[in-house]
Amino acid sequence: MTFVRRAWAVVWKDVLAERRSKETVNAVLFFSVLLLFVFEFTLGADRDRLASVLPGLLWLGVLLAALLGLGRSFVLERENECWEALLLTPGDKSAVYVGKLAGNLLLMALVEAVVLTLFTLFMNVDVGRALPGLLLVLALGTLGIAAVGTLFGAMTAHVRARELLFPVLLLPVLVPVLLAIVKSTEALLAGEPLGVVSHWLKLLVAADVIYVVVGLLTFDVLLEG
Amino acid sequence: MTRWLGVVAMLGVLAGLVMAFLVAPREMTQGNVQRIMYVHVPAVWVAYLAFLVVLLGSVAYLWSRAPAADRTAHAAAEVGVVFLGVNIATGAIWGKPTWGTWWTWDARLTSVAVVFVIFIGYLLVRQMTDDPERGARFAAVVGIVGALNIPLVHFSVYWWRTLHQPPTFAKPGPAAASSAIGAALLVNFVGLLLLCAYFIAKRYDLLRAQQEATA
Amino acid sequence: MTSDHWGFVAAAYAVAVLALGGYWRRLVHLERTLKTPTLRRRRSAGR
Amino acid sequence: MKGLPLKPKFVAGIAVLALALAYMIYAGVTQSAVYFVTPSELHTAAKTGKAYRLGGMVEKGSVNWKPATLDLRFTLSDGQAKVPVRHHGTAPDLFGEGRGAVVEGTWMSEGYFQATLIMAKHSEEYKAPHDAASPGYQELMKSLRSDQK
């Protein structure tokens, strides 16, 4: 089997399992709706203040949902005792990484679509003109988050107190990505052109390349269990 | 051998203190409070060098699976965290009288804090893994990601905001600090570097003794 | 001219000495427990 | 796994990593972004109630400090424009006339800048007393903005 087909097999397996159980997607989507409630209750009274922190909130929502979803991806493999099967994948193990990464990207894209829609509907964000730029930032940022999240998720599946350690490891590493996406979202929502945030885009591209390459190179070390 | 390194490091640190308090002049605008710089700035240089050792040790471990490489990375991470802690604490104490605040979310403070947390995560992974061999592999991955992340953290936080003097030496062109101050800084750097090397060597020896004891 | 804040200087160096000295003491302590055979098993089990 | 041969995958991966890091550092060093607005920039596009970081030099003779009420007023300038600043509280030690300062706060409709935080700007130079040559105005403004380098 080629690399791509092996990766595809992993994605397909995950999508199929998810379509039958709907566990992760349902929980994560419901969680992001609840977050909207929490944001509104804690900050909602003051419209102006809300507007100024909105890019941060948007990403906070996506990030918290991602922490739940990404952390589960490998824990499921372990609970269902499928880890050995993953390990038996023929050839280069980084295909498993690519497959898992793609699955996690799908999940995050779904969450982002929902969160973005909810924000536009319930918090009066005018996405409109900023949308193309926003989607680019969203795509680059999501890849970075998912790349590290997939790598660390495979690791923390084997660790004590994994629910705790996963975010503790992931969040500080993702600081550059978070700063880049929040700052560029802020600028784009304020109506600035994409050129203003070009340095953040450069940073996101560099971060994505570094995270994905490190993931490809080190994943088989983690898959040993 | 480690013991002799310790003696030399002690001498280096003493020389640094002499330079910092007896040789270096009272700084012009800040006054004597600037003397904090002689421990503050070298501490962060030493810590970042230690994290470079973590990167190299981690790569070497994943490559060869030699326990020696893992012990080096482990020891360097622990010592680096200690030195970075010293840097953050002395920075806060320096910041209060000069900037008027213990902590500000300025670029260099924030980026150092983020790196600090990343390497605490490195140590936590080891602690939270039951099988030491597995812990070593996991920690190596965290060490590689964490160390490669340092430039990203640095620039992202730097762009985010900054209110810190640009680095005094990293800049090309003539050194901005006057010579006595520069010399004092250099001696303190060498002293702390020796101390760091001694700590890493001693921790390495202890890790080996621990592993031999349990084996 | 600004005042000297010797108190802050003393505090900064004290913190540095406490942190580095504390780490050194921890290493020495660890070494001692490793070298004492009777203590070794109990201590290392606790770790 | 011991004695892993130098697989092409690793060579390529490490090369890509090195390239990405080099690119990042290059982009970082050459990036010039503005971290705070200058008084002239504030004058051209000041929005009332929006939070700014304002940087400039404290005008000579402009500092008015009432210890009883903790009321501090001064003017920040960049050579072309001046902005009156008000603050409630004490200022850090390095704050002084003829030195750089960065303040965080909002532009008030009454025509002054209400600062919530005053930070004295370090000069990037550490000087011994004897090589004292008071830095010129241009140099100070440059050092204030040179964080971009």
Pairing of strands D100-107, D51-58: antiparallel
Please tell me which residue, C38 or B174, carries the higher pLDDT value. Answer: C38
D19 reaches C (C-beta below 8 A): no
* pLDDT tens series, chain A, 225 aa: 688 888 888 888 888 888 888 778 888 888 888 888 888 787 766 666 676 677 888 888 888 888 888 888 888 888 877 788 777 777 778 888 999 999 999 989 988 888 888 878 877 777 777 788 889 999 999 999 999 999 999 998 888 888 889 999 999 999 999 989 988 888 888 777 777 778 889 899 999 999 999 999 999 888 886
At the second CATH level, the architecture of D39-124+131-148 is Beta Barrel (2.40)
pLDDT above 80 (res B106)? no
The yes-or-no verdict on residue B91 having pLDDT over 90 is no
| Residues belonging to chain C with any Cβ–Cβ distance to chain D shorter than 8 Å | 2-3, 5
Residue of C9, C23, C27 with shortest CB distance to B36: C9
Reading chain D (149 residues) residue by residue, the pLDDT tens digits are 444 556 788 888 899 999 998 888 887 777 654 456 778 877 776 667 666 778 888 888 888 888 888 888 999 888 788 889 998 877 777 787 877 787 878 888 788 888 887 877 655 555 444 333 334 444 444 544 443 33
Chain D residues with CB inside 8 Å of B100's CB?
Answer: 90-93, 95, 118-120
Residues 86-115 (D) with a CB less than 8 A from some CB of C: 93-94
User: Quick one: pLDDT band at residue C1, thresholds 50, 70, 90?
Assistant: very low
Task: State ipTM.
Answer: 0.74
Confidence check: pLDDT of C44 > 80 = no
- Average predicted confidence (pLDDT) for chain C: 77
Q: Report if residue C3 sits inside a domain.
A: no
- The proportion of chain B whose per-residue pLDDT surpasses 70, expressed as a percent, equals 86
pLDDT at D130: 37
- Domain interval for residue C25: 14-46
Q: With CB atoms and an 8 Å threshold, state whether C27 touches B86.
A: no
For residue A153, give every residue at least 6 positions away whose Cβ sits within 8 Å of its Cβ, in sequence order, or none.
A70, A71, A72, A73, A74, A75, A100, A104, A166
D34 reaches A (C-beta below 8 A): no
What pLDDT is attached to residue D26?
83
Q: Is A217 on the interface with D (CB under 8 A)?
A: yes
How far C21 CA sits from the closest chain D CA (Å)?
29
Question: Domain for residue C1, yes or no?
Answer: no
**What share of chain B has pLDDT > 90, as a percent?**
44
Each residue's pLDDT tens digit, A150-169: 999 999 888 888 888 999 99
Consecutive H or E run containing D116: strand D113-120
Q: Which pair of tokens denotes residue B44? A: 């962060």
The number of folded domains in chain C is 1
Rounded CA-CA distance A193/A134 in Å is 11
Closest chain A residue to D33, measured at CA: A199
pLDDT at B99: 67
**3-class SS string, chain A:** CCHHHHHHHHHHHHHHHHHHHCHHHHHHHHHHHHHHHHHHHHHCCCHHHHHHHHHHHHHHHHHHHHHHHHHHHHHHHHHCCCHHHHHCCCCCCHHHHHHHHHHHHHHHHHHHHHHHHHHHHHCCCCCHHHHHHHHHHHHHHHHHHHHHHHHHHHHHCCCCCHHHHHHHHHHHHCHHHHHHHHHHHHHHHCCCCHHHHHHHHHHHHHHHHHHHHHHHHHHHHHHCC
D132 burial (CB, 10 Å; 0-12 / 13-18 / 19+) is exposed
Residue B36 to residue C27, Cβ atoms within 8 A = no
Q: How far apart are CA A73 and CA A141, in angstroms?
A: 19
How many residues appear in chain A? 225
Domain boundaries, chain A: 3-223
Q: Is the CB of C3 less than 8 angstroms away from the CB of D93?
A: yes
Cα–Cα distance, D13 to A97 (Å, whole number): 15
- On whether any CB of chain D is under 8 Å from the CB of A179, the answer is no
Chains A and C touch (3+ CB pairs under 8 A): no
